[in-house]
Amino acid sequence: MSLIAAALLVMAALYWRQIQDDEVSERQREDDRVSPLLRGINYLLSDEPDLALQEMVQVARLRSEAADVYMALGEMFRAKGEIGRAVRIHQNILARPDVAKDLYLQAHLALGKDFQVGGLLDRSLRQYEKALTLQSDHIGALEASLRIRELSSEWTEAEALLSRLEQIQGDSLHLHRAYLLAEMAASCIAEDSDGAMKRAEKALALDRACAHAHIVLITLYLDQSDFTRVKEALQQMWDAASEHVHLLVPAILANRKFYQKYGYEVLMRFWQDGKDEELALTWLESIEKPEYLKKLKRALGLSASTLRTSLRLAAIESAEYESLSLHAAQWRAQMKRFVCHECGVEVVELRWQCPQCHAWGSMHAIREEVL
């Protein structure tokens, strides 16, 4: 019996020692993990990113979950504008042979964003394309690729990406596609007027509110001296997108034959119909001869109802209050005239696509309350 008891005691002692050895080993492994992490952080604080990367690589080898920390560091560097550091971190993750597929996808997306923020659009696009080979329906990668194509004026490629988004989201983005077609039309208006006309007509078939397509069509009709169609198209634009008709005023005045025969009458009718101050002010600002300017001002009977209108009129009337006119003209050149109804950003010149939220057809003239 004593032998059995002694054997049991020996086994218990050995088991206890094994537990202690395991705990020591686990603590040692944890120390091995923490040590390079702390060194990496110290290197980061000491502005030695390459040494920090070496330590973080060691952490990632010891702890697979450290890759998430690694990704977070890359996001932090990008947010601080240190694009080179972010790129090195994400490239290092992609260089590892044991990266999980989901992390591999995240790294490609992050690297694409790094290059996009840094202005390297071609390299950014390649990373998003690699991400899409891993997950073809990734909305973020498709939207980022679409934005790059639009920035690069690659409208055909942009439309193809828009089609993929429509299929995935189960939604028809008619206005967005209409503006892409209008951009295609505008880009080929000089070399292929027939093609430009077809694309503009297709855009308007998708959405009558696409002001850019209206402008392309009317410009083509003016160039062809097809004044009957110009009048019809102007009326259609007035009915569907009246607030942007003022953009055509300089082109209408430049075609003196049309302006004298039809243009003056059409613009005056629009003014009387809608009392659109932007239309009247743009018309006045486009008149060069002082005698014509005074005559038109009387005919319009425009009175200043807002501060903006007052200052723009002051900028036009150079004969009176010369100092005020000079300052008003300087202000006019810097005045933010359009606002995005989606995100609220204000800009000086009209853009068909918002520079901040990238929505199409969302920019509208700023309207102030009447004094």
Cα–Cα dist 340/363, whole Å:
4
pLDDT digits (tens, 9 = 90+) for 218-231: 999 999 999 999 99
Q: What is the predicted pLDDT for the residue at 10?
A: 38
- The answer on pLDDT for 14 being more than 60 is no
- The answer on pLDDT for 299 being more than 50 is yes
Q: Do the beta carbons of residue 223 and residue 254 sit within 8 Å? A: no
pLDDT digits (tens, 9 = 90+) for 242-271: 989 999 999 999 999 999 999 999 999 999
- The answer on pLDDT for 203 being more than 90 is yes
Q: Quote the percentage of the chain above a pLDDT of 90.
A: 44
Lowest-confidence pick of 108-117, 183-192, 275-284, 330-339: 330-339
Q: How far is CA 34 from CA 13, 56, 90, in A?
A: 31, 10, 22
Three-state SS for 135? Answer: coil
For residue 80, what pLDDT band results from cuts at 50, 70 and 90?
A: confident
Catalogue the long-range contacts made by 102-105 (C-beta closer than 8 Å, 24 or more residues apart): 103/67, 103/68, 103/71, 104/134, 105/131, 105/134, 105/135, 105/138
For residue 11, what pLDDT band results from cuts at 50, 70 and 90?
A: very low
Three-state SS for 248? Answer: helix
- The answer on pLDDT for 111 being more than 50 is yes
For residue 326, what pLDDT band results from cuts at 50, 70 and 90?
A: low
Give mean pLDDT, residues 285-298: 86
Q: Do the beta carbons of residue 66 and residue 59 sit within 8 Å? A: yes
- State the chain's mean pLDDT as an integer: 82
Q: What is the largest CA-CA distance in the chain?
A: 128
Lowest-confidence pick of 54-68, 122-136, 151-165, 296-310: 54-68
Q: What is the predicted pLDDT for the residue at 287?
A: 87
For residue 31, what pLDDT band results from cuts at 50, 70 and 90?
A: very low
Q: What is the predicted pLDDT for the residue at 12?
A: 42
Domain 64-167: which CATH number of 3.40.50.300, 1.25.40.10, 3.20.20.60, 3.50.50.60: 1.25.40.10
For residue 59, what pLDDT band results from cuts at 50, 70 and 90?
A: low
The residues spanned by each domain of the chain are: 64-167, 336-371
Structure-token pair, residue 118:
């840094």
Q: What is the predicted pLDDT for the residue at 307?
A: 78
Q: What is the predicted pLDDT for the residue at 371?
A: 46
- The answer on pLDDT for 30 being more than 60 is no
- The answer on pLDDT for 113 being more than 60 is yes
For 220, other C-beta atoms within 10 Å of its C-beta total 20
Residue 367 DSSP one-character state: -
Q: What is the predicted pLDDT for the residue at 218?
A: 96
- The answer on pLDDT for 17 being more than 60 is no
pTM of the model: 0.75
End-to-end CA, the chain: 109
Q: Do the beta carbons of residue 146 and residue 158 sit within 8 Å? A: yes
- The answer on pLDDT for 161 being more than 50 is yes
Q: What is the predicted pLDDT for the residue at 2?
A: 46
Q: Quote the percentage of the chain above a pLDDT of 70.
A: 77
